[in-house]
Amino acid sequence: MAQKRAAWGIDIGQSSLKAIKLQYSDATDQVVAVAFDFIQYPKILSQPDAIPEEIIAESMKTFLTRNSIKDDLIAISVPGHSSLARFIQLPPVEASKLAEIVKYEARQQIPFALEEVIWDFQPLGAGVEEGGYLLDAEVGLFAMKRDQVMNAMRPFTSNKLEIELVQTAPLALYNVLSFDELGIRRGQPVSARDEYTIVLDMGCDNTTLMISNGAKIWIRNVPIGGNHFTRALTKEMKLSFAKAELLKCNATKSPDPRAVFQALRPVFNDYVSEIQRSIGYFSSVNRQAKVSKVLGLGNGFKLAGLQKFLQQNLQYDVEKPDAYHSLAGDSVINAPLFSDNVLSFAVPYGLALQALDVTRIRTTLLPPEIASARIIRRKKPWAAMTAAMLLVAASLGVAASANSYSYVHSKVFEDAEKAADGFASEISGKRSAYEGEKGNFTKARQDLEALVVGRRGMDWMELFNAVNDCLPRDGNAQQDEIPLTQRNQVSISHLTARREGDVGAWFTSLPDQSWLAKADRENAPSGSGYIVTLIGKHWHSDPDPEQNDILYLRNNFLRNLQQPTVQQPGYPPRDITRMGISHATIVEYTSNKTWIPKSGLQEIQSGPRVNITENQPPAGARSSSAFDGDSSLFGPGPIGAPSVGSGGSADSMMRSSMGGMRGAGGASFGQTTRPMDPENYDEVEETQFKIEFVFKYKPKSERTTPAEESAEDAGE
């Protein structure tokens, strides 16, 4: 006889992961604990500096490393305060229409569209069925928002684990109470007891309060947990959270226990008040109910003095179980780690009991589409076997019937058969020809790939895109509506690259390194690479000196070339220095007065320009021919030479003090050019420049991530 599958009950709490594996023994009619695990988190998930996703993922990794769960059923819990539980007393209804009535009630009771939640129901109470009608029936309705259920399942689905059961923590506690304390088993008739038991499961931030007599269930969430006692100590005794937590767990061993309990007394009082208020409301709607005792669960009940304080104020017996009566398995229940944390294993114990199908509760919040797909998958082998058997039977019948028709008995059938054979031969010939051509095509493609694949990368296209994304722009504005001097626009006319055996020689030859980023100045490049040259101009003018002339170029273009990444609005991030661009600097530049058509830049770029020569230039004017025609692009003069000419020396000294290095291509004011029709032209300042940088392409697999760069910066 095949052994029944084992079931894991797993509770991912706020401070730890608790799991227990159970098997049902038919021979002894007992539930046996086979394995367990208790993983304490390094931080409580609700602490401000905790990252729950990372902590839970690491705990799941530890759990899966230490335990084998192959072929085992998995049941998980969701917190009671995140779910909805309603208990509805129904009038006499037909048993066959119970589902329709409950669905109608669900639409009234659940404050969300049913498509947004996962819900289930179960008849409770001691109702009876007579003549096809349910009398005195109470139905439990349980629901939770779909996204919260999926979040609870994510740690398991991300590890490719199949979940059999999703249950709320209060119903898992009911499974423990009914199975372990009251002795109720699945399929047995349930009679309502006169005495009720209160179960208090104290967690970190909340306490689940569940009251039941075996037949009826009443649930409420108390918004006080173990962390509230810890926060009281941090406030009253000026301690850190970690020290306060340690003091709370060892209150009786502290140097001044009286001071500790004095600090905790307000929380004790609030806790008792909330429980008394809940019991009072329960008693008001269940006037015949008689509470016999309180069962304290959860590691929060380890708090010294809590049991005695509750007993004195509630006037009920308060018990803390040190074992589960119906659970066997000495290797687990006698383990020190399990014994120390036995109060916190109630929820996983109740989950595993229901997964083994030994409890009265059968509701689940597992998404129905997942459950349906799993049922279909499990039935596929049987369906395939049945279909195979039917197919074999049908094939035998067809073969027997076809045997008598396998011979040709007339000339018509003989001719048709010959024609079919001839057609089949023709098809075979064409198929052989097709396969031959297919082989030729495959060989040609392999030859082509051998010539192309790996011979040319996209490095230069990525460089082009990177430079393009570094350029300033005006966003979604129509540039034709913005005056030329106010546009965020830099025009690049040349982009060239030359291979250098040692880029360090280029770095050493730079006459002025002040335009380099600080890190680039301190770390000279070395080895072979490319020196990329950008040549262009801009006409931007602004009252702010930082947005004029070469400073505009530095602040709006050069600095972008010195960043790890840039991102233009509406576009993905673009790697710059991460891609291999480094030591971007302005090599030469000059500013000149030039004349542009009032109709805009388009006429400058494409329309003809007719210039006349004047003997005397306007004051402060510069030649616009600094870049024209010469292979050096900036003329033969030395870098940094000041501009000279009529009215230009003072302007040159001012610009030298602002910008530093300047090319000499536009230094001469021997002549200036003006249009033949000055009324239709504007005179503007045109800044021409040459920028160079080192380019050593890095594949994406070798680039540092932002997190790695932050770590490097922190190390430096």
Helices (H), 123-206: 146-157, 169-176
Q: Are 206 and 77 in contact (CB under 8 A)?
A: no
| pLDDT band per the 50, 70, 90 thresholds, residue 612 | very low
Q: Are 125 and 215 in contact (CB under 8 A)?
A: yes
Q: Are 8 and 69 in contact (CB under 8 A)?
A: yes
In the chain, count H helices and then E strands: 21, 25
Q: Where are the domains of the chain?
A: 7-366, 375-399, 459-715
Please tell me the distance from the alpha carbon of residue 372 to that of residue 367, in angstroms, as a whole number: 9
CA neighbor of 214 nearest in space, from 134, 322, 108, 125: 125
Tell me if residue 12 falls in helix, strand or coil: strand
Please tell me the distance from the alpha carbon of residue 58 to that of residue 35, in angstroms, as a whole number: 20
Whats the size of the chain, residue-wise? 716
Please tell me the chain's helix, strand, coil percentages from 3-state DSSP, rounded to the nearest 5: 45, 25, 35
**With 70 as the cut, is the pLDDT of residue 646 above it?**
no
CA neighbor of 18 nearest in space, from 344, 351, 352: 344
pLDDT, residue 714, reads 61
Segment 280-301 mean pLDDT: 89
Contacts of range 285-291, beta carbons closer than 8 Å, 24 or more positions apart: 286/196, 286/216, 286/218, 289/196, 289/211, 289/213, 290/194, 290/195, 290/196, 291/195, 291/196, 291/197, 291/198, 291/211, 291/316
What Å distances lie between residue 705 and 438, 459, 575, 580, 711, CA to CA? 45, 19, 10, 14, 10
Tell me, what DSSP letter sits at residue 343? Answer: G
The pair of structure tokens assigned to 429 is 């010939």
- Better pLDDT: 340 or 633: 340
For 486-498, the pLDDT digits (tens) are: 888 999 999 999 9
For 522-567, the pLDDT digits (tens) are: 999 999 999 999 999 999 988 898 989 999 999 999 999 999 999 9
Segment 651-678 mean pLDDT: 41
**With 70 as the cut, is the pLDDT of residue 402 above it?**
no
pLDDT, residue 412, reads 72
pLDDT, residue 648, reads 33
Q: Are 532 and 497 in contact (CB under 8 A)?
A: yes
CA neighbor of 693 nearest in space, from 492, 516, 459: 516
Q: Are 145 and 81 in contact (CB under 8 A)?
A: no
pTM for this one? 0.55
Q: Which residues contact 239 (CB under 8 A, 6 or more apart)?
A: 233, 247
Helices (H), 509-570: 518-522, 549-553, 559-561
**With 80 as the cut, is the pLDDT of residue 343 above it?**
yes
CA neighbor of 52 nearest in space, from 144, 146, 162, 155: 155
Q: For domain 7-366, which CATH number applies: 2.40.110.10, 3.30.420.40, 3.40.47.10, 3.30.70.1340?
A: 3.30.420.40
pLDDT, residue 710, reads 63
Q: At 56, give phi and psi (nearest 5°).
A: -65, -40
- CA-based R_g, the chain, Å: 41
**With 70 as the cut, is the pLDDT of residue 255 above it?**
yes
What Å distances lie between residue 698 and 73, 456, 571, 711, CA to CA? 48, 15, 22, 20
Please tell me the distance from the alpha carbon of residue 716 to that of residue 714, in angstroms, as a whole number: 5
Helices (H), 286-324: 306-314
Looking at every residue in the chain, the average pLDDT score rounds to: 82
For 261-274, the pLDDT digits (tens) are: 888 899 999 999 99
Single-letter amino acid, residue 608: P
For 306-342, the pLDDT digits (tens) are: 889 999 999 999 999 889 988 999 999 999 999 999 9
Helix axis angle, 52-66 to 146-157, nearest 10°: 40
DSSP string, 130-143: ETTEEES-EEEEEE
Please tell me the distance from the alpha carbon of residue 596 to that of residue 675, in angstroms, as a whole number: 9
Q: Are 268 and 232 in contact (CB under 8 A)?
A: no
Q: Are 368 and 68 in contact (CB under 8 A)?
A: no
Lowest mean pLDDT among 402-416, 594-608, 633-647: 633-647
Segment 70-91 mean pLDDT: 89
Could you count the other beta carbons within 10 Å of the beta carbon of residue 465? 15
